[in-house]
Structure 1
Amino acid sequence: MKAAVIDQYGQVRDVVRVADVPVPAVGPRDVLIEVRAAGVNPVDHLIVKGFLSAGAPTGPLVIGNELAGVVAEVGGEVTRFAVGDEVFARVDPRVGGAFAEYVAVDQSLVATKPSGLTFEEAASLPLVALTALQALTEQADVRAGTRVLIHGAAGGVGSAAVQIAKQLGAEVVATASAGSVELVRELGADRVIDYRAEKFDEIVSDVDVVLDTIGGETQERSFGVLKPGGTLVSIVPIPDAEAKQAQWNVRARSFYMRPHGEQLAHLAGLVESGQLRPILETVFPLDEASEALQKVERGGARGKTVIGVRA
């Protein structure tokens, strides 16, 4: 099968190639999925660069972390899916393998694809939507009446988070670039701040929860807009987190999402009910996986980049 692989860690443009590799073996609890499309995320280029691994690859490593496709084979202990089912999944991050014609995934990480979505749209959701859901409901306790500030609200995680926060009943303030203000407003944000024209920390205060997808100066300035006892949740590291918690009398939590098939099924239900929609920006063919990764690496995306694996 064709797959995007690396043989060593390094810069995306230097090490990512498309090669023929064996179809993965199917374990007793695995679902073999014929991949139709795979989502591209910042974590993918970090993996390529070796930031998340202690040792070198031991042969061609198939990259990619989320996908949508059709079940081609099931292991002997699989009870939730059958050949021909249309599904989507966030794969085990220790295994990867989504940028390929086939991938084997434990059934616990798989959910039925929302029927109203294309494979490309469905492939754009698992990682970002699970991240947003877990950030808002597990790392924070967002519910009706919670005031939430979401940074990077036009990006993958941010756009999902705006919609999920509104579904939970929160008041949502969001930051985005001028060209994305109207999109974020359409997603349900009660107030959208053009971060280039206005300083959010000069016009927003008494926030219960900040979801930070940016880091750096944006993260630093976000502590000052929280209520005492509020929570800053970040998908990037928080330097000196304990000291900042004490200084501002808040909670500061950096986390990395985990795959979860039941939560993914819940998110599929939100899609079916019209409460969550994917924001898809660009689709690349598998042969241009390196270009897709480089686009995500450059940042500034409005929605998700996806690799179309099969028509």
Structure 2
Amino acid sequence: MGTETMWAARVHAFGDPGQLVHEEVPRPAPGPGEVLVRVHSAGVNPPDWYARRGFVNIPEAMRPTWPLPFTPGSDISGIIADVGAGVTEWRAGDEVFGLVNFPGRASGYAEFTTSPAAHLARKPATLGHVEAAAVPMAGLTAYQFLVEHLRLGSGGTVLVNGAGGGVGHFAVQLAKAAGAAQVIGVASGRHEAFLKNLGADRFVDYTRAAVEDVVRDVDVLIDTVGGPDGHRLLPVLRRGGRLAPVYLGEYHRERAAELGITVEGWQVRSDGEHLAELARLIDAGRLRVGIDSVFPLSAAAQAHTRAEQGHLQGKIVLRVVT
């Protein structure tokens, strides 16, 4: 492979995981305000496989159009290889991690990628690149929901549905860090020890009991599952409670309003300053990273197959540098 090329996992046709092809492609160069990152690891996130499928899960009026071929991936951890014009906060050799160009297109499943300088933060000193690449999208989603939008403070009860997954396991920890009096994690039974070890005060195994039958008077509900049955969660919330869906779902908003429940969702976005705060919590031992599985870049298709099986415990990561 020449110095002007690199290996990447690219999508040439929309469809199943087999559409991810490991191939040699041109190496990018940073533009003004950007840096070039030598990617050591890349996180795997739902928008990556949504894009691979052609966003068929999103209503047509809201569906992005991505020209083929493209390289998916927005979560990266690596080392800065070069800086573009006007960049003063980073230099070659700095270890960084970030959610790149989200919402929008990025190219993280590759040996090199470019990123706006402001989308990166210094990699947590206590993490390797695999663990750091698992943080950005999931960690920022939980952080921006709980801290920026919901402004969670001390006291109250927070329930996290789908607590074992990427966003869920960060939301459990960040709710505790914010001072929630009680955090309830809902997941299948195999996640119980994992979530209690992360600080969940109560665990509900949805395979043994419907959460709406056994939980009441929740102040804030983070739903990382969504789907057509999301509205079944309404009974767990008190009047005046807030339901924050991470994914699209049917929440019977008129019925929720009658019950005094607010349903609000937000889009995660790239933010280097927020990511730096997550890094501070990680290095202080207040936020831990769950890894479901690790695949080499050449096995990106297998990583997507694992992702679509669901029931993840933490995040899936591609190891780019072996």
TM-score range, shorter chain: over 0.9
- How many residues are treated as equivalent by the alignment? 309
**Which residue of the other structure, out of 172, 187, 190, is the alignment partner of 2:198?**
187
1:221 aligns with 232
Secondary structure of the residue that 1:208 maps to in structure 2?
Answer: strand
Any residues of structure 2 matched to 1:199-278 within 5 Å, and which? 199-216=210-227, 219-239=230-250, 242-278=253-289
**Which residue of the other structure, out of 293, 300, 310, is the alignment partner of 1:282?**
293
Q: Over aligned residue pairs, what C-alpha RMSD do you find? A: 1.5
Please give the TM-score of this superposition, normalised by the length of structure 2.
Answer: 0.92
Could you report, residue by residue, the CA deviation over 1:263-295 in whole angstroms, capped at 9, with x for unpaired residues?
A: 000000000100001101211001100110111
Secondary structure of the residue that 2:264 maps to in structure 1?
Answer: strand
1:120 aligns with 130
Please give the TM-score of this superposition, normalised by the length of structure 1.
Answer: 0.95
**Residues 125/56 of structure 1: CA separation in 2 closer, same or farther (3 Å cut):** closer
Secondary structure of the residue that 1:21 maps to in structure 2?
Answer: strand
**Which residue of the other structure, out of 25, 28, 31, is the alignment partner of 1:21?**
25
2:8 aligns with 3
The letter for the 1-side match of 2:312 is A
Secondary structure of the residue that 2:281 maps to in structure 1?
Answer: helix
Of 170-179 and 48-57, the range deviating more from structure 2: 48-57
The letter for the 2-side match of 1:79 is T
Kept in 2, the 8 Å contact 1:28–1:76? The answer is yes
Q: Which runs of 4+ in 1 moved over 3 A?
A: 52-56
How far, CA to CA, are the matches of 1:203 and 1:98 in structure 2? 42
1:63 aligns with 72
How far, CA to CA, are the matches of 1:128 and 1:228 in structure 2? 29
**Which residue of the other structure, out of 62, 65, 74, is the alignment partner of 2:83?**
74
Aligned identity (percent) is 38
**Residues 202/174 of structure 1: CA separation in 2 closer, same or farther (3 Å cut):** same
1:44 aligns with 48
How far, CA to CA, are the matches of 2:43 and 2:84 in structure 1? 25
How far, CA to CA, are the matches of 1:241 and 1:179 in structure 2? 31
How far, CA to CA, are the matches of 2:178 and 2:110 in structure 1? 35
Offset at 1:217?
6.1
Could you report, residue by residue, the CA deviation over 1:205-228 in whole angstroms, capped at 9, with x for unpaired residues?
A: 111100001113662221111111
How far, CA to CA, are the matches of 1:213 and 1:244 in structure 2? 21
Kept in 2, the 8 Å contact 1:238–1:253? The answer is no
How far, CA to CA, are the matches of 1:225 and 1:141 in structure 2? 20
Offset at 1:241?
5.2
Of 204-213 and 44-53, the range deviating more from structure 2: 44-53
Kept in 2, the 8 Å contact 1:156–1:302? The answer is yes
Kept in 2, the 8 Å contact 1:40–1:305? The answer is yes
**Residues 218/185 of structure 1: CA separation in 2 closer, same or farther (3 Å cut):** farther
1:12 aligns with 17
The answer on 1:137 being equivalent to 2:141 is: no
Long gaps (5+) in structure 2: 1-5
The letter for the 2-side match of 1:299 is G
